[in-house]
Chains A and B, each alone.
Chain A
Amino acid sequence: MQKKVWMVLALVMLVPGLLLMTSCAQQSAVEQDTTEKTTPPEDTSAKTGDEDLQAAAAKRAAEQAMNQFLNEHIYFSFDSAELSAMAQDTLKSKAAWLRENAGVMVTIEGHCDERGTNEYNLALGERRAESARAYLIDLGISGSRLSTISYGEERPLDPGHNEEAWAKNRRDQFKLR
């Protein structure tokens, strides 16, 4: 038994070590290529094409991440500003995005479904926005990047008059400032 454990441990230490060595090797190889100016034209275009593709892929990934940040909403139960487990998970990924995009400022909009009355819903919407803001601050995001606003029941996403529509409207929505 102990022998097996040692074998696993050895593998666990070896594999990352090997990876590191190879990546370092690649790095030095790349450096060598850029300092030498004797590479044939076809190779250069292949290399810049590669960079273009990488850059394009990175750009797409960044757009997708931003779209997810803006389009993935936090949902609430009726008359509640409590964050469910799912809401907390969504906020964790939003925090990650905010960390990766350090300069970005956002507004958290709090919304309600149409069933309550307008005035009380303005207050509830603000509590929902503040709830998410507080959670993000706890996750280490600076409060100065996060402003809040309540729209009560005034800006529903779904104009329907049924539980399905109401569930979609009881939300926090993130917008870039």
Chain B
Amino acid sequence: MVCKTSRTIVVLIVMIAMMSITSHQASAADEFIEINPFLKKIPLAIPDFKPLSEGAPARETADETARLLAETLLFTGYFNILDKGAYLEDPRESGISDASINFRSWTVIGAELLITGGVYRSTDAVEMELRLFDTFQGKSVIGKRYRGRYQDRRRMVRKFASEVIYYLTGSRGFFNSEIAFVSTGTGNKEIYIAEFDGYNPKQFTRTNNITLSPAWSPDGQWLAYTAYPKNRPFLYIKHRYQKRGYEVGNKGLNITPAWVPGTGDTTSLENMRLAATLSFTGDQEIYLLTGKGKIIKRLTKSWGSDVSPTWSPDGKKFAFVSNRSGNPQIYIKDIDSGRVDRLTFQGRYNTQPSWSPKGDKLAYAGMQGSRNDIYVIGFNGRPPVALTHDAGNNESPSWSPDGSMIVFSSTREGASRIFVMTAFGTDQRRLLTLPGEQSNPQWSPNKHLN
């Protein structure tokens, strides 16, 4: 009798022990696994939009608007847009508003979300009615009407895309952002700027000499960069839209500008803050400057090179590259305490850090052999994760303003091109192609919609 009871107790104890071990493992696993929203894409249906006025131009604009919206939402990586061939209903016939939708015919093909549109077109003007439906709830969750010039139709589509993303994620996304990058098409490295999806690239600088390292101010109104028009590496701070700017020409290096997020009154350049590497003392250190380039104070203090600052979103810390341990690694400095901690311990050459606007991760270029790959590392002591593998040389990562995507350069197709991917490394694809080679992309903040 005693034996049986003690055996049962032993079995119970072992069972409880095993259960607690497995549940402990489960919670540990939860800590390790970050949910990747880009793996399980939301099935979205975007049927053809309905022309609400007569004539071919209206039909064309309706088609184009649906296509633009599909492309814009596809770019985010959150959606799987279902093939039109599978649709059972055509809202051009049945209607685009709540009352006309037979939600069953959409849920049955697997669509969780549905977007319908109606488009008015006169010669110069456009009006669009756009609705987002939750098919399982059986109702519209966003309904918007936009009116404006025909040439502003892309902006209207992006406004709606921003509403969709805000509904799904609580963040406005990046539809009003731009990407600055370097291209050699003219024979010299110059800075170009394109819209976030690669549309409409335009040359921004006309240095006719080496131009590098574009950096956007927090309000997206200024660009700082290094250029050699006077045959030395000077720092330039140039307005994005108006012809005005400032020059920083200390002896030696004036390189790697990085604006401090959310500093001061952003309508006053003087109150904005910029970190940059200067070497006029003979030592390569990171300094804090005003938006106009005036030196406020030195931020780093060590033997060797300190370059490439990148700020945390609250502006209280910055990461940078230093070779103080013998080869280039990434360090973090806390402005208040002055404390410097080393972040990267894997690999012998880690550079080009970029702090995620979400604050929790840093992307950087890590060299293995003679190639670089894009890595992402958190601040909790866990090892870094490579987002690119066996795909040429990948450098210069820069986060989208909502931290959901990364733009970088890659030579996987031969010449260096600008690529984008989600923050988890999925959906890697080329952003655009221009003559020459493209490199050093920088994603701007999401600018105020005007």
Contacts and interface: CB of A to CB of B under 8 A. Distances in A.
Contacts of B255: 119, 122-123
A119 B349 contact: no
- The 6 A-B residue pairs with the shortest CB-CB distance, nearest first, are A123-B305, A117-B351, A120-B351, A119-B256, A119-B308, A154-B210
B349 A79 contact: yes
Contacts of A117: 351-352, 365, 372, 395-396
B253 A115 contact: no
A115 B308 CA distance: 17
Nearest to B210: A154
Contacts of A151: 210
B213 A118 contact: yes
A107 to B, nearest CB: 9
Contact of B349 (A116, A126, A155): A116
Interface centre among B232, B282, B305 (most CB of A within 10 A): B305
B328 A120 contact: yes
B277 interface: yes
Interface of A: 79, 115-120, 122-124, 126-127, 130, 148-151, 154-155
Contacts of B440: 118
Given A118-B212, A130-B282, A150-B253, 8 more contacts: A116-B351, A117-B365, A117-B396, A119-B321, A122-B226, A123-B279, A126-B279, A148-B252
A90 B439 CA distance: 36
Given A117-B396, A118-B440, A123 B307 contact: yes
Nearest to B396: A117
Contact of B305 (A127, A148, A155): A127
B305 A124 contact: yes
B189 A154 contact: yes
B441 interface: no
Nearest to A129: B252
Contacts of A155: 210
Contact of A115 (B210, B232, B252, B367): B367
Nearest to A148: B252
Interface string B322-334: 0100011000000
Interface in B243-287: 252-253, 255-256, 277, 279, 282, 284
B233 interface: yes
A119 B440 CA distance: 10
Interface residues of B, number: 34
A38 B232 CA distance: 62
B370 interface: yes
Interface in B321-365: 321, 323, 327-328, 349, 351-352, 365
A152 to B, nearest CB: 8
A122 B233 contact: yes
Contact of A116 (B213, B233, B252, B367): B367
B231 interface: yes
A51 to B, nearest CB: 42
Contacts of B277: 123
B305 A120 contact: yes
A79 B282 CA distance: 19
Contacts of B395: 117
B212 to A, nearest CB: 6
Given A79-B327, A123-B255, A150 B307 contact: no
Nearest to B188: A154
Interface in B194-228: 210, 212-213, 226
Contacts of A124: 305
A126 B279 CA distance: 9
B307 A120 contact: yes
B232 A149 contact: yes
Contacts of A79: 323, 327-328, 349
Given A79-B327, A150-B233, A120 B308 contact: yes
Contacts of B284: 123, 126-127
Contacts of B396: 117-118
Interface string B282-296: 101000000000000
Interface centre among A116, A119, A150, A154 (most CB of B within 10 A): A119
Contacts of B351: 116-117, 119-120
Contacts of B323: 79
Nearest to B326: A79
Nearest to B371: A115
Contacts of B189: 154
5 contacts: A117-B352, A119-B255, A120-B307, A120-B351, A150-B233
A120 B327 CA distance: 11
A167 B210 CA distance: 22
B129 to A, nearest CB: 48
Contacts of B370: 115
Interface in B84-135: none
Contacts of B321: 119-120
Interface centre among A116, A148, A155 (most CB of B within 10 A): A116
A116 B439 CA distance: 14
A122 B352 contact: no
A126 B367 contact: no
A124 B212 CA distance: 16
B372 to A, nearest CB: 7
Contacts of A127: 284, 305
A155 B307 CA distance: 20
A123 B253 contact: yes
B365 A119 contact: no
Nearest to A113: B370
A119 to B, nearest CB: 5
B395 to A, nearest CB: 6
